[in-house]
Amino acid sequence: MKAILQGWNFMRILRLGLGIAILVQGIIAKEAITMVLGAVFAAMALAKIGCCATSGCAINSRSTNNTHKINNEELDIKK
């Protein structure tokens, strides 16, 4: 229940809206595949699952103090 009530952002609301719209269109057109697709989109938004909903593709943002000085040397190449 906590996942349903918390963490709402624009993309999650958009996915829920599109899921409901696709589901309604599938019901009106009486197409089972469209109804299933709409239900999947709506369920993904409600359950907060999907591509990056759980920060599964987030980069590691830990900062380390292991900095190394890099010496750059200019090369003069003439033919």
Q: Dump pLDDT digits (tens) for 18-35.
A: 999 999 999 999 999 999
Neighbours of 9 (CB within 10 A): 8
Q: Give the pLDDT confidence score for residue 55 in this predicted structure.
A: 58
Q: Give the pLDDT confidence score for residue 53 in this predicted structure.
A: 52
pTM: 0.60
What whole-number percentage of the chain has pLDDT above 70?
Answer: 72
Spell out a b/e string for 49-59, using b for 16 or more CB atoms within 10 Å of the CB, else e: eeeebeeeeee
